[in-house]
Structure 1
Amino acid sequence: METQTESDLLDSLFLIPREPVKQFLKTLLHLVYSVEVTGLENIPETGGAVLISNHTDNLDVIVQGTSVLRKVIYLGKYELFHPQETVLELLENPNSPLNFFPLSLMKQTLVAALNTLGDLQGKQLSHWGGHPILRAHNVTDAKSAAVYYENLENYIVDLIRKGELISIYPQGTRVENVSPGSFKALSAKLAIRAGVPIIPSAIKGAWKMMKPEAFLTGKAFGSKITYNIGKPIYPDQFPKEPLKKAAKIVTEELENRVRKLIEFPES
């Protein structure tokens, strides 16, 4: 049986290190755009925390992930970390050609190869800062959906309590501006439950800057992008109210802080 040491050795041989990739992306980012970052001192050096930001473009993840000195954890779909499972389900279908001779002779080899490649992708994403969320099995009605989201919330809280810095975009979708009431309360709820700081931050100038038109027109090159990180709201500053009400109050405060950070970074 493969020992943990042997597994770690294999990972070190095949996984692409995080830091060189981060530095490469950061260099490329600053070559294309004019990026300005403020408030890095507001990120705790250690310990669990929730980092929130407005969400304008896919570029936000690169700006944030390459700017923050700590490893930032991004939650992703389970399927991204286990891509082979969807294909394997098709292969296991009784009508799959691989269940019939002569293709059946190569089925075992193909399954093993898919599992190896899928596991490698999952480990690589995790190594770079990705983390899979719980898979939604048999979520077919309101009751099962409620159970799933409760389990998912508990899962993320446990992850934060283990000391991870989790990035969440409380708007849930990409939009250019932050409007009142556009933040969902989940990020505040997670921080309150985990008893960790929640840090507001704001990105400005990245809206549609990864679109082909931005490069074809030359608009992307030298375009100014700012990423401003504000002062955390610490657990002792959370409202002494029931969880739902406290999360709503904190969320409204976060919205106000993010809007201010978009225009006026904190000194």
Structure 2
Amino acid sequence: MFLYRLFRGMFRILYRFVYRWEIIGLENVPLQGGVILCSNHKNNLDPPFIASPIQRQVHFMAKEELFKIPVISYLVKQFGAYPVKRGMSDKGALKKSLQILKEGKVLGIFPEGTRSKDGKLGKPYPGAALFALKSEAAVIPTAVIGDWKMFQSMRVVYGKPINMTELRQQKVTSALTEEASGKIMKEIQQLIDEYS
């Protein structure tokens, strides 16, 4: 946790002075209980960008390959990351994610699963929706806004929690997961449209 706080402070300085960091809606992120931060994905710097304003530690999935590199593996573990196998359904990562939420922690996830090449929202994978449906965590739509050019403004916007109550009362099916995914992505897009 010490290393996490140390690097969080370093990233705060980097973003504030190099990218003119602007934080909007931080009050929408609960201070307690499970939270899912669902964000668009534009750059490799996105994870610490959306996590650094929050006093709580944010856990992210990271590609399995990183955990095979000794020093990198140690660091990403200290940052609260855990491995996920790309290109396939990873039940272990799914179970770990739900456990994080059950323990009342914060999970950061990019529903698109990869960085957008044109800056536009892509088609979401079902993971974020599944976590939202199978947990009682607050689902916070999050938007990274800006072009990641040095000394130009970058914004991170946290929206109000998405009401998932009605969907959570239904049996989880592929159709319901798709509906939940659409709801999440719609909220993210609205933040992008409003604050760009």
TM range (shorter): 0.7 to 0.9
Higher helix share: 1
- Give the equivalent residue in structure 2 for 1:62: 48
1:44-55 residue pairs with structure 2 within 5 A?
44-55=30-41
Tell me the distance in 2 between the aligned counterparts of 1:177 and 1:257.
14
Aligned to 1:228: 157
User: Which residue of 1 is the match for residue 129 of structure 2?
Assistant: 188
TM-score (structure 1 length as normaliser)? 0.64
Distance of 1:224 and 1:82 partners within structure 2:
36
Greater Cα radius of gyration, structure 1 or 2: 1
Structure 2 matches for 1:164-179, cutoff 5 A? Answer: 164-175=105-116, 176-178=119-121
Moved over 6 A (4+): none
Distance across 1 between alignment mates of 2:100 and 2:133: 14
Shift of 1:173: 1.8
Query: How many residue pairs align between the two structures?
Result: 192
Contact 1:158/1:194, CA 8 A, preserved across alignment: no
CA contact (8 A) 2:41 2:112 kept: yes
State the identity as a percent.
23
The amino acid that maps onto 1:75 is M
Counterparts in 2 of 1:32-43, with a 5 A limit?
A: 32-43=18-29
> Cα distance, 1:54 vs. partner?
0.6
Q: Deviations over 1:176-212 (max 9, x none)?
A: 0125xx2222201112112222111111113xx3xxx
**Quick one: which amino acid aligns to residue 35 of structure 2?**
A
Bigger share in strand: 2
CA RMSD of aligned residues (A): 2.5
Contiguous gaps of at least 5 residues in structure 1: 1-14, 84-117, 140-144, 210-219
Where does residue 197 of structure 1 map in the other structure? 138
Structure-2 residue corresponding to 1:242: 171
Q: 2 CA distance for matches of 1:177 and 1:78?
A: 26
